[in-house]
Amino acid sequence: MVDALVVYTALQLCELLGISKRHFYKLLGDGVLPPPVRLGRATRWPASSIDAWLAAQVTQPPSSSPARRSRAGRPSAAETLAARRAGLTVREFRATRGGVQ
């Protein structure tokens, strides 16, 4: 039996990451996001590549500069999506990872 390939559209990823379409394409152009695959005329992102990218973003060791956060102290898009995938709130997700609340 072959498992179905789970893929995301750009709009689905924007919603999952909590970012605008414009910012999504800026990140894509800057090489921050994984490259898409073409399925016929459609452009999609395999869930496996997004999961791997998110895991790398969440487990990435902090750089010498302070973590980049919005002025309101909101979590990063990668952290938010990882929490949603785990079925947790960001606060619960941070508690399980030993992060700051």
Q: Which pLDDT does position 95 carry in this prediction?
A: 83
Count of structural domains, the chain: 1
Mode of pairing for the β-strands spanning 37-39 and 42-46: antiparallel
Q: Which pLDDT does position 92 carry in this prediction?
A: 84
Average pLDDT of the segment spanning 14-41: 91
Residue 50 within a domain: yes
Residue 65 within a domain: no
Residue 47 within a domain: yes
Alpha carbons 85 and 64: distance in angstroms, whole number: 29
Is 24's pLDDT higher than 80? yes
Residue 1 within a domain: no
Q: Which domain holds residue 93?
A: 7-58+70-97
Residue 21 within a domain: yes
State pTM to two decimals: 0.56
Residue 50, C-beta contacts closer than 8 angstroms, at least 6 positions apart = 8, 13, 34
First to last CA, the chain: 43
pLDDT tier, 98 (very low <50, low <70, confident <90, very high otherwise): low
Answer yes or no: are the C-beta atoms of 88 and 80 closer than 8 Å.
no
Residue 64 within a domain: no
Alpha carbons 96 and 98: distance in angstroms, whole number: 6
pLDDT digits (tens, 9 = 90+) for 35-92: 999 989 999 999 999 989 888 887 766 555 555 544 456 777 788 888 888 888 888 8
50: domain CATH number is 1.10.1660
